[in-house]
Amino acid sequence: MASTWSSSDLFALVEGPWKEDYLIKRILPEDLSRVLEHVRTHFLQDEPTCNLLLTQRRRRRREKEGCSNNTDQLLFEEEIQSLVRIVVRDELSFLVEDVNTGELAAIRITYRSTKATDFPIFSSPCMKELFRLTNLLEKEANLFEKFGVGEIARFFIASCTPKYRRRGITTELYRRSLIFLKASGFRLAESMFTNPFTRCCAVKFGFQEVVRIEYKDYRNENDDGFVFRGESSQHHFAAIMVKVL
């Protein structure tokens, strides 16, 4: 369903001051370099699945070659950043800035997903595995048919700089983003949640789990072994969660 709001009115639902120290605004081209740096230095360091994939990749290199290096990590970082460059073009993504220091406090990356959405073929082993996991979940969830929608607002990254955590910033980004997406005409918001904190935050806003994959049971593409060998726990799983808007 198309929105009846103007672009400026839609962005006004999100953009603006929050409390006394923060400014929430859309991610513009001039913000992209610091957003990408945040993704590299904070999101990829903290995101559980990314960490597990890199840990397993390093282990395989040691077993095969007797050593490990940071080549896989650098390529993974580069390809995640490339994906962010693509999806922010949908103009559904926002950042939080400390008005006193100008520092980037948090980001909320969201994009428009349809049945025709397609991304470049990535070469990083970690990125390939991440996409395989995502595709398996999306196929089982079957959201377009199940909810009768032609497009979905897909939450991709929610990340907060460590010094700004536990201040309610991520929660406020969720709140404003959901209002914005509903006014924009979306009927469904969705994400693959792998982080316990963001899962809890999503539940507070009415997200419900549709399907999950437990990492302890997640097998490789050849079905001759497990992807996460000895690194996963009961808290490690990926879940597709949705909210009807």
Query: Which sequence spans correspond to the domains of the chain?
Result: 7-244
Question: Comparing C-alpha atoms, which of 159, 16, 18 is closest to residue 84?
Answer: 159
In this prediction, residue 66 carries a pLDDT of: 57
Stated pTM of the model? 0.91
Q: Which of the four CATH numbers 3.40.50.300, 3.40.630.30, 1.10.10.10, 3.10.20.30 does domain 7-244 have?
A: 3.40.630.30
Q: Positive or negative CA dihedral for 123, 126, 130, 136?
A: positive
User: What does the pLDDT profile of the chain (245 residues) look like in tens digits?
Assistant: 556 788 899 999 999 999 999 999 999 999 999 999 999 999 998 888 888 888 777 766 665 665 556 788 899 999 999 999 999 999 999 999 999 999 999 999 999 999 999 998 899 989 999 999 999 999 999 999 999 999 999 999 999 999 999 999 999 999 999 999 999 999 999 999 988 888 888 999 999 999 999 988 888 888 777 777 665 556 689 999 999 99
Q: Please report the sign of the dihedral spanned by the C-alpha atoms of residue 50, residue 48, residue 143, residue 207.
A: negative
Residue 242 sits at φ, ψ, to 5 deg, of -135, 155
pLDDT for the residue numbered 119: 92
The Cα 3–Cα 185 span in angstroms is: 5
Residues paired with 189 in a beta bridge? 153, 243
Q: How far apart are CA 90 and CA 112, in angstroms?
A: 7
pLDDT of residue 230: 63
